[in-house]
């Protein structure tokens, strides 16, 4: 029976003004081994066997949906998540990692050689929007948009000296709640505000104009509403500016907060922010990440 090993990167989405549009893969990974068997299905999550409701497991659901889509007859599966570095429900693309990893695993077992476009399209169908699944599949920073049943995307050139400091709390923010707090309509001036920042963000990154990133990550569409769900949001973003951040944003729908730093200031920034975060009531950890440029990969 075929066994496949898949590595999938974490992702950060929205990235300030790019609501449901901008996403980036990060060098923080989950890994899974998937094997077709003649027996009952077994699922292990970093050493723990799932004994109840395994059919609700997102990796299992994705693999079986992909196999059903292609009419592949399977009897059983052994799914073993061997590396679990992407935290769940923290705005770092844990569900996208399950979906993209599941599709890649199913494709390898079936030997169907799905195109990247087919993988992205089906992953978006399962996830609902493309901003996390596209960079998870492709790598890098990507602009994604859906036109009917197809996903159009374009990679953004990232300056090599940029690093991303992810500040991850112990508390979660559910995607459902984070969408519920958003208004049904927006003022025209707020839409213009975001359009201008999104356009300038892409241009500034492509041109290496790092001094413009602070204003480029500003947003009026989702962050002003979602920040109420993240304790110490204002205090944290006030301090990252003091310690050298050149831009900051909510990662996905939260609760992770992201600061953009230059590589020559990164270690000092992490040291200062660790001390500050340790003084907060909630427990936070901070990790320094680089963009992943490969996306999901069969090992």
Residue ranges for the binding site for ATP? Answer: 87-97
188 burial (CB, 10 Å; 0-12 / 13-18 / 19+) is exposed
Nearest 5°: phi and psi at 217? -85, 5
Residues annotated within the binding site are 87-97
Angle at 150 between CA 67 and CA 66, to 5 degrees: 5
Of 210, 215, 179, the C-alpha closest to 197 is 215
Nearest 5°: phi and psi at 149? -100, 5
Would the CA dihedral through 256, 143, 162, 213 be positive or negative? negative
Do the Cβ atoms of 221 and 17 come closer than 8 Å? Answer: yes
Would the CA dihedral through 223, 215, 144, 221 be positive or negative? positive
Helix (H) or strand (E) holding 12: strand 3-13
């Amino acid at each position: 029976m075929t066994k496949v090993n898949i590595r999938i990167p974490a992702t950060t989405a929205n990235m300030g003004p790019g609501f449901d549009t901008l996403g980036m893969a990060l060098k923080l990974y989950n890994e899974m081994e998937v094997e077709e068997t003649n027996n009952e299905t077994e699922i292990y999550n970093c050493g723990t066997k799932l004994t109840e409701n395994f059919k609700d497991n997102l990796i299992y659901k994705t693999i079986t949906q992909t196999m059903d889509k292609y009419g592949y007859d399977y009897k059983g599966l052994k799914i073993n998540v061997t590396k679990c570095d992407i935290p769940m429900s923290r705005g770092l693309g844990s569900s996208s990692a399950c979906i993209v990893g599941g599709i890649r695993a199913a494709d390898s077992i079936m030997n169907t050689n799905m195109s990247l476009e087919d993988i992205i399209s089906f992953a978006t169908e399962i996830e609902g929007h493309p901003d996390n699944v596209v960079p998870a599949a492709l790598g890098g920073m990507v602009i994604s948009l859906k036109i009917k049943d197809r996903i159009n995307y374009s990679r953004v050139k990232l300056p090599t000296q940029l690093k991303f400091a992810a500040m991850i709390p112990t508390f979660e923010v559910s995607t459902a709640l984070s969408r519920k707090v958003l208004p049904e309509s927006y003022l025209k001036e707020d839409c213009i505000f975001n359009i201008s920042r999104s356009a300038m963000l892409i241009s500034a990154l492509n041109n290496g104009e790092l001094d413009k990133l602070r204003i480029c990550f500003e947003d009026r569409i989702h962050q002003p509403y979602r920040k109420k769900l993240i304790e110490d949001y204002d205090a944290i973003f006030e301090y990252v500016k003091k310690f050298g951040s050149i831009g900051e944003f909510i990662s996905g729908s939260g609760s992770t907060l992201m600061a953009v730093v230059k590589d020559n200031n990164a270690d000092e920034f992490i040291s200062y922010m660790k001390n500050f975060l340790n003084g907060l009531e909630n427990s936070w950890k901070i990790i320094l990440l680089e963009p992943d440029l490969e996306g999901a990969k069969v090992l």
